[in-house]
Amino acid sequence: EAVVAERRAGLGRVREAAAPPEGDAEGRQEPSVAGRAVSYPLGALEAGVAWPPGVQQGAREEWLCAEEFERVFGLGWEAFCRLPAWRQARLKQAARLF
């Protein structure tokens, strides 16, 4: 009974991930896939961490540089944009960007 009570107490609570290492959340002077002047590493954009200023929840993948985007998603930005919305959402979920 104590185990059940402990599990119920934990239901519905959001567990935040640890903040990215110092310097990991800083913008890079490399352009993002969406043409922004700076890009951020994946660790700074994942779910559960405080995102850099200006980053919107539903468009975090747009702040990755081209190399990291291709490494994370296995395809380029243009190919990603051509995918149906449901497929984009699944890829973002797998990358912890949703």
Query: How many domains does the chain contain in total?
Result: 1
Rounded-to-integer distance, Cα 43 and Cα 40, Å: 8
Domain limits for position 63: 2-94
Q: What is the pLDDT of residue 80?
A: 97
CATH code for the domain of 61 = 1.10.950.10
The single-letter DSSP state of residue 25 is T
Instruction: For residue 31, name the pLDDT band (cuts at 50, 70, 90).
Output: very high
Token pair recorded at residue 17: 């991930």
User: How many C-beta atoms lie closer than 10 Å to residue 17's C-beta?
Assistant: 11
Under the banding of pLDDT at 50, 70 and 90, the label for residue 20 is very low
pLDDT (0 to 100) of residue 12: 53
Q: Which residue has the higher pLDDT, 14 or 3?
A: 3
Question: Which tokens belong to 97?
Answer: 């960007």
Each residue's pLDDT tens digit, 39-91: 999 999 998 888 888 999 899 999 999 999 999 999 999 999 999 999 999 99
Q: Report the predicted TM-score, pTM, of the whole model to 2 decimal places.
A: 0.72
* SS3 assignment, position 39: strand
Buried b (16+ CB within 10 A) or exposed e, 55-64: beeeebbbbb
